[in-house]
Chain A
Amino acid sequence: MIQLRSVTKKYKNAYALKNVNLDILSGEFVFVVGASGAGKSTLMKLLYKEETPTSGTVMIGGINIANLPPEKVPNLRRCMGIVFQDYKLLQNQSVYDNVAYVIRTLGISTKEINARVQGALKVVGLSDKMRAKPTELSGGEQQRVSIARAIVNGPPLLIADEPTGNLDPKNSMEVMQILDQINQRGITVIVSTHDSAIVNHFRKRVITLENGEVIRDIQAGTYE
């Protein structure tokens, strides 16, 4: 599903990623780990085309998104779900409206939107908080809203950039369990994190970055 070939990203004089080669298959659950500044977020940003590689190719579903024209980027992002460390929720809108926002822009019927939003909120266990505003929710709940928003359009790929970065261990574990359930439905999940407890608990494929290079890529690995 995802292929990175000789991907390098350079900011002025510093390399964020150096000659990265990766293959991620459809339906995989992958942890991308590493210390701060290792290049995890840059790698994630390349996948949702927030950044463009200095050199190399980033193929998603057979399309080299490194060359994707700006007007096509929204189409790409609608084919994937993205979860951020700071949730990025619309604070003045309800949980329901936050989750429904993107699919509303696609012209889907209200009935269909309702069904999809309720389905997504059920997956993350927030069916009873539909009318609440993000400010009325805990950090863990806000992140779950953000996950519901990411999966509401049924994407084949979910990218989570430090999804537990702002959460306590209990909430972190809950969020990761939801991501694991989503993966079990066949959605490819890529999670960047530096939370060793989580990585060690789930025993999934672990790609370790250091100074912008892939130094380890292990199936059912741990955080080392």
Chain B
Amino acid sequence: MSNNRQEIKKKVKKHIPKDWLTELRIVYRIAMETLNDLKRTGLVNIVIITTMAAILTIFGALFRTALSVSAFAHELGNVLEISVYLKPSADANVAKDRIKTFEHVERVRVIPKEKSWNDLRREIDMPEIDNPLPDTLHVKVDKPENINSVFSKVRTMSVVADMSYAQELAKKIQFLNHVVNTTTIFVVIIVAILTMTIINNTIQLVIQSRKDEIEIMRLMGVSNWYIKIPLVMQGALYGFLGSAVALIPLNLVENMLINVHKFFLIPNPLFAGNLVVLTMFFMGTLFGAGGSLLSIKKHLQV
């Protein structure tokens, strides 16, 4: 019996040589199978790729806009400073050194009372009186959302007479950032569901139309993965090609946003365009393959 087994193994080995060239041929033939499947799907391919491109364009445009909005918010956040008015007896430099040690404080600038007074007199016609202004500190915080905590800490200092900052603006920037981030996540989820549903249905149709062929392949001993991989690749290719088509409208969006940045003199986020393109290709291909896998799991009994 074990002789028989050895004999069969030997025979199988003789007929299925295993070396890198064999593996390479299998990869090549799977790729050809995928292309043949695409060819057989015919004009439907155009409909699917166009639909995928439209969805991915929406995602890409929103994601790219989100990056720009973040850049705007960051830039606005940069101009937000807390003004700290010191008591007449206070030493501005000591207070500055103390505030610098607080968490989230990026920079502290001393505005001597003489400078404030001179600036004021330049702007408004003032009578000849003694300088009533205190020394002022301008405290720059790392992020708009940390202004409140820094503000509270500074207020506890005994040398501080009064304080102020553009609280409403800080809140609005924070809210805008939050909305943009939430929208991006929401869009990613919608894109995932849409692309996976489209690919799922397409691959289901492909499986239905090739039902007899798949049955024959299965009965003839074609490996399950050899049947499945071309279908997964087909789904992934739809995502990839959809992303490639989406590059055209996205390029327009990119140019438009660059102009907006130029107009407001706010620097365009570094590598934003590349990041959007890479993310779109990654997501399109991944969700395309994922949709295909779901369909295979549900409709292909091998």
Chain A interfacial positions (CB closer than 8 Å to B): 1, 26, 48, 50, 59, 61-63, 70-71, 73-80, 82, 84, 88-90, 101-109, 149, 153-154, 156
Query: Beyond A1-B4, A71-B224, A74-B221, is A107–B11 a contact (Cβ under 8 Å)?
Result: no
Note all chain A residues with C-beta closer than 8 A to B185. Answer: none
Chain A residue numbers with a CB within 8 Å of B12 are 75, 78-79
- Known contacts A61-B4, A79-B12; is A104 also within 8 Å of B223 by CB? no
Our count of residue pairs bridging A and B at CB distance below 8 angstroms stands at: 88
- Specify which of B21, B216, B221, B224 is in contact with A90 (CB 8 Å cutoff): B216
Chain B, Cβ-Cβ closest to A48: B219
Partner among A48, A62, A106, A109 whose Cβ is within 8 Å of the Cβ of B1: A62
In this complex, what residue of B is CB-closest to A150? Answer: B220
In the bound complex, how far is the Cα of B24 from the Cα of A109, in angstroms? 10
Residue of A nearest to B32 (CB): A104
Q: How many residues of B contact A (CB 8 A)?
A: 31
**In the complex, chain A residues whose CB is within 8 Å of the CB of B215:** 88
Q: Which 6 A-B pairs have the closest CB atoms?
A: A77-B221, A107-B22, A78-B221, A62-B1, A62-B5, A107-B26
21 contacts between A and B (CB under 8 A): A61-B7, A62-B1, A62-B5, A74-B221, A75-B221, A76-B221, A77-B220, A78-B16, A79-B221, A82-B219, A82-B220, A89-B216, A90-B216, A101-B220, A102-B220, A105-B29, A106-B26, A107-B23, A107-B29, A149-B220, A154-B15
B33 to chain A, nearest CB (A): 9
Interface pair A79/B220, CB less than 8 Å apart: no
Q: What's the nearest-Cβ distance from chain B to residue A172, in Å?
A: 22
Contact A102 B213 (CB under 8 A): no
Q: Which residue, A70, A75, A84, A102, has most C-beta atoms of chain B within 10 A?
A: A102
Q: Contact check: which of B4, B7, B22, B222 meets A102 at CB < 8 Å?
A: B222
CB–CB A106/B15 < 8 A:
yes
Residues of B contacting A105 in the complex (Cβ-Cβ under 8 angstroms)? 26, 29, 222-223, 226
